[in-house]
Each structure stands twice: as C-alpha cells, then as structure tokens.
Amino acid sequence: MDKPLGPVRADVRCVLPDSAFLGEGPHWLTAERKLLWVDILAPAIHVSDPATGKSTSVRMPELVSAVVPRVRGGYVAAMQTGFKAVDLTTGASTMLASPEADRPGNRFNDGKCDRRGRFWAGTLAIDATPDAGSLYRFDADGRVHLMDTGFHVSNGLGWSPDDRRFYFTDSARRTIYVYDFDLESGAIADRRVFAEIPEGHGVPDGMAVDSEGFVWVAQWDGWCVVRHDPDGKVDRVVNLPVPRPTSCAFGGPDMTTLYVTSARIRLSAAQLADSPLSGSVFAIETGVRGLPETAFAG
C-alpha cells in the first residue's frame, strides 16, 4: 500500500472532511445540488453540500451500502438484509424485498439504478467466503431478478452512455467485467473481462461512467482514481491523499466534478497519521461531463 509515484493533483480538493469508517455509494442529487452517500460500517446516510461542507445525517439500524431517491418521493437503500424504503428524517426503514433472506451471512454492497429506474446491487459474504455473492435487479413492480452469481466481492457497477454495456466489479478478483445490456428488457449477456488490475496497483472498487464512455474507478489501497477507455486501457490516473478511495460519482453544476468517497477502516495509527483525511469526500475537476444519476422508478 505504498504511495504511488507523482504528486496529488492541484485539482483534487477535500470538500467534505469526515472520518467515515467505510464511506461509499455517492449519488449526486441534481435538483438539490447535494451529494447522497453512506458510511457502511458506522451505518448512516449523509446528505451533504460540497459547496459549504455541511451535512445532515441519519443513523441506520443495519449496514447500508447504497441509497437512491424514489420517483414517488423518499429513498430506497441496499442494506444488509435487502432493499428497503428509508425515511431520511426519522431513520425508519421498511423492507421492500429480501432476496437473500436464506443467507444471513451475506450483505448487499454497491448499487445504483439503470436509466429505466431499476435498482441493481450485488452481495458478498460478510466473512469473505469466496463466490458467495450475487447480482440482483430490483424492478419498479417489486420483483427481484437474480442476474448473475458466483462473485467474491460484488462492487462497482455502471452503464455505457448508449446503454449497450453494463459494467460490474469483483474486487477480490481485481477484475471489472463488462456485459452486453438491453435497456428495454434489463437483460445482460456475454460476461467478459473489461480490465484486470495488477498486484500493487490497488483494488478496483466503485465506479462512474462519463459521457464519453470512459470508466472511472476508485482504487482501494491504490491512492488514486483511474480512468479507463472503452477498451479497458488506462487513460488517466488521478492521485489522492488517502490510500482507500472507495467509490465515485459525477456531480456539480455542470456534471464535470467527480466526487470520491474514502475509508479509514483497518488503517493503522501510522497510516492514519500519513493520511489524516481518510474517510473524507474529495472532488476532482475532470473537465469531462458525467451522466446524471437515475432515481428508482418504483
């Protein structure tokens, strides 16, 4: 987990100083101009204003890994036990679907909505049992579909601008996969490797896809965010002042700011002294427009 060569860029700013154990799931709320994000392990949902650095937070009763707004109002979260409706005023939650009720040792991890408002999220074993994770699609009609299975650590996901590709990450295998995607049906097919991350370069975590079809990936233990071209090749590396960036999302007034969450979990006192901003949220001015997030249609 040595620092990469090269300085942290001048266009990287800490906009939300925090000490999140496992910051994750950034989602830009366009109308409010605020960032929705979570701390998985000290379970809480945050709504933050990067312009002022102020946040409102609500504690959750169980692990929470991703939250999206609902078209009808309110929010839906991927939580330890399933997809739940959540009230960010009271912290109350209501189960909507629990596809792994028979697997109490699993939890949901990263998730987001496709352009039709279907909520996709993957699972993993809390004790890190290999191949125990699966990928699910939660539709507006309340039905859940098992889309693929056999993953070790389900993680970052996203879609190409033309909605013909779906990306999904297995962090434990250091691999980002790409599938053919059908927007109308929500089907995926022909899983293949998009990018494999070599040892010593961090672990691929959460991602965001920009309007040019390039894929930005937070590199856990890599001190950076990497931009891959549509063929999977590395196009750009942006160094960060923290070792464990976890995920990223485009936002800001013109959708060119990449917000990056981070973690401080399992860092030693010496490592934290070297990276005191671990657990904070950073902003990278990319010069590239991102794609707006989609709310859950149900």
Calpha distance 204→194 (Å, rounded)? 12
User: Are 210 and 291 a contacting pair, CB within 8 Å?
Assistant: yes
Number of other CB atoms surrounding residue 214 within 10 Å: 18
φ, ψ of residue 154 to 5 degrees: the values are -60, 135
Helix, strand, coil shares of the chain, percent, nearest 5, are 5, 55, 45
CA 102 to chain CA centroid, Å, is: 25
Q: Report residue 236 as tokens.
A: 């750009």
What is the rounded end-to-end Cα distance, in angstroms, of the chain?
A: 42
In DSSP notation, 8-56 reads: PPTTEEEEE----SBEEEEEEETTTTEEEEEETTTTEEEEEETTTTEEE
Instruction: Name the DSSP letter for residue 163.
Output: S
8 Å CB contact between 206 and 110: yes
Looking at the DSSP assignment, which residues form a beta bridge with residue 91? none
What are the helix (H) ranges across the chain?
Answer: 269-274
Active-site pick, 110, 114, 170, 205: 205
205 is catalytic: yes
- Closest residue by Cα to residue 45 from 30, 31, 29, 65: 65
**Catalytic positions:** 205
